[in-house]
């Protein structure tokens, strides 16, 4: 049996939470391998809705959850999330959740510098959540980060805070923002240590043992390929690599162990925040997609920008992200539309191109070239087999497969976990 890695194939918010939750019934452990609490997964289970940012979605199924070293962790946000889901009836203990002891912590100073920079950018804002994810990753590569394991060594923590604050307070002062006092921050972290450290361990050892024992591991990505710091619409991206290859380095496991790669894409396209969006619709249809799809960010609450399905973007994500099978979500949002459009290319300065260019200016000038398709009058909502879908809806899905050069492995037809059409079990490889 293969392991499975799930990543987004657009700009995030594709419904990964439901898909990972659905797949968790076939897995033994679920691993988060990158991102921070700027990502959000919404899981609908009966009359209960769970909104997760750091916790692996498998916890809802009672499966072991692992937060890998590639994740940056705000300890206060994590503890608040644990308390929230416990109040909803979930069991989260050191027996059900493990955290990489070498994962980097997000501190209050990171959020402060994140927000101060965004304010200074003015009209050129990137659209960050202001939660400190980017500055925490910067500290990681600059080798001044505070890690989970440092909470167990007060002297180490004190020394590392000196270096970290020397850097960040200088920036904050230059941006006209309030600086941070070391002792207050040290006391704050030491007070959190007893609540965080029981979850900490070298998770790479546990994952190796699980792999050798033949257990099924599900790797859960945050954000999506088009927000990848290398392959996305830079600089309007997140601060980590979101492609499937990151599951290996972000969890501490062999690249060969990440298994079958599933890419998640909506049957249309959405984006939160700033940045290029060639197929964006600002008309009544765009508004309709947003209303039907309840398109608001799980973490930020910001309304998502909506547009037609962009096959160029998803095909690119399939290739650079290593996607072997596609999950198409929210097909039901397109029900009843007389006409549908799919982007098959862009015109940039009069030239037809079949890829999203790397240059920021060229991305902004990309004009979509559409293929027009007939819509369907019947309903796809809640369908659990191909036979329940209108013929034109099946035709739409098949055309998407051709354009993105990937087979649809799963089809989601509502937020409910069981309203899913299984074409191929990814755990079978």
CB 410 within 8 A of CB 14: no
- C-alpha closest to that of 163 among 142, 141, 189: 142
In this structure, are residues 92 and 85 in contact, taking their beta carbons and an 8 Å threshold?
Answer: yes
Cis peptide before 235 (omega within 30 of 0): yes
Find the angle CA(83)-CA(18)-CA(199) to the nearest 5 degrees: 35
Active site residues: 13, 41
Structure tokens at 269: 């396209």
Q: Categorise residue 259: left if φ over 0, alpha if ψ from -120 to 50, beta otherwise.
A: left
**DSSP three-state, residue 115:** helix
What is the distance between the terminal CA atoms of the chain, rounded to a whole angstrom?
7
- Nearest C-alpha neighbor of 19 from the set 428, 413, 412, 429: 412
User: What phi and psi, each to the nearest 5 degrees, are found at residue 95?
Assistant: -85, -25
Residue with tokens 């819509």: 375
Mark out the alpha helices in 142-212 (DSSP H runs).
Answer: 154-174, 182-196, 203-212
The continuous run of DSSP H or E covering 23 comes out as helix 16-24
Pairwise CA distance, residues 190 & 163, whole Å = 18
- Kindly state the tokens that stand for 96: 């059900």
**Contact between 151 and 102 (Cβ < 8 Å):** no
**Collapsing DSSP states into helix, strand and coil, what is residue 401?**
helix
**Residue that the structure tokens 């300065």 belong to:** 349
| 222/299 Cα distance (integer angstroms) | 12
Pairwise CA distance, residues 7 & 222, whole Å: 7
Rounded distance, CA 321 to CA 231, Å?
A: 9
What is the C-alpha to C-alpha distance for residues 394 and 59, in angstroms, rounded to an integer? 34
Tokens of 132: 């400190």
Q: Which helix (H) or strand (E) holds 227?
A: none
Pairing of strands 64-67, 305-307: unpaired
């Amino acid at each position: 049996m293969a392991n499975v890695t799930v990543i987004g194939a657009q700009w995030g918010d594709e419904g990964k939470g439901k898909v990972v939750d659905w797949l968790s019934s076939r897995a033994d452990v679920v691993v988060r391998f990158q991102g921070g609490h700027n990502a959000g997964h919404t899981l609908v289970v009966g009359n209960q809705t769970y909104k997760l940012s750091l916790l692996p979605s498998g916890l809802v199924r009672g499966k072991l959850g692992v937060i890998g070293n590639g994740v940056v962790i705000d300890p206060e946000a994590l503890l608040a999330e644990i308390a929230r889901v416990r109040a909803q009836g979930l069991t989260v203990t050191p027996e059900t959740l493990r955290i990489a002891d070498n994962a980097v912590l997000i501190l209050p100073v990171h959020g402060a510098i994140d927000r101060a920079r965004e304010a200074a950018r003015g009209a050129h804002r990137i659209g960050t959540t202001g939660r400190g994810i980017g500055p925490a990753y910067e500290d990681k590569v600059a080798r001044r980060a505070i890690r989970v394991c440092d909470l167990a060594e007060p002297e180490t923590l004190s020394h590392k805070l000196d270096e970290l604050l020397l850097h960040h307070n200088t920036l904050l002062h230059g941006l006209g923002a309030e600086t941070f006092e070391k002792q207050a921050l040290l006391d704050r972290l030491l007070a959190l240590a007893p609540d965080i450290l029981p979850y900490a361990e070298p998770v790479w050892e546990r994952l190796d043992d699980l792999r050798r024992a033949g257990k099924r591991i599900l790797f859960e990505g945050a954000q999506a390929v088009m927000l990848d710091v290398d392959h996305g619409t830079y600089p309007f991206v997140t601060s980590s690599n979101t492609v499937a290859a990151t599951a290996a380095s972000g969890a501490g496991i062999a690249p060969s162990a990440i298994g079958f790669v599933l890419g998640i894409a909506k049957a249309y396209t959405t984006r939160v925040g700033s940045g290029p969006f060639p197929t964006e619709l600002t008309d009544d249809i765009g508004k309709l997609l947003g209303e039907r799809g309840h398109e608001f960010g799980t973490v930020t609450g910001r309304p998502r920008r909506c547009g037609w399905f962009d096959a160029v973007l998803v095909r690119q994500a399939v290739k650079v992200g290593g996607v072997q099978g596609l999950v198409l979500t929210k097909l039901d949002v397109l029900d009843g539309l007389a006409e549908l459009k799919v982007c098959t290319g862009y015109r940039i300065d009069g030239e037809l191109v079949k890829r999203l260019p790397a240059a920021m200016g060229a991305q902004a000038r990309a004009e979509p070239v559409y293929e027009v398709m007939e819509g369907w009058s019947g309903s796809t909502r809640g369908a659990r087999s191909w036979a329940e879908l209108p013929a034109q809806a099946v035709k739409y899905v098949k055309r998407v497969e051709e354009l993105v050069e990937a087979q649809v492995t799963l089809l989601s037809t509502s937020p409910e976990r069981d309203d899913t059409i299984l074409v191929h079990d990814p755990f079978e490889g």
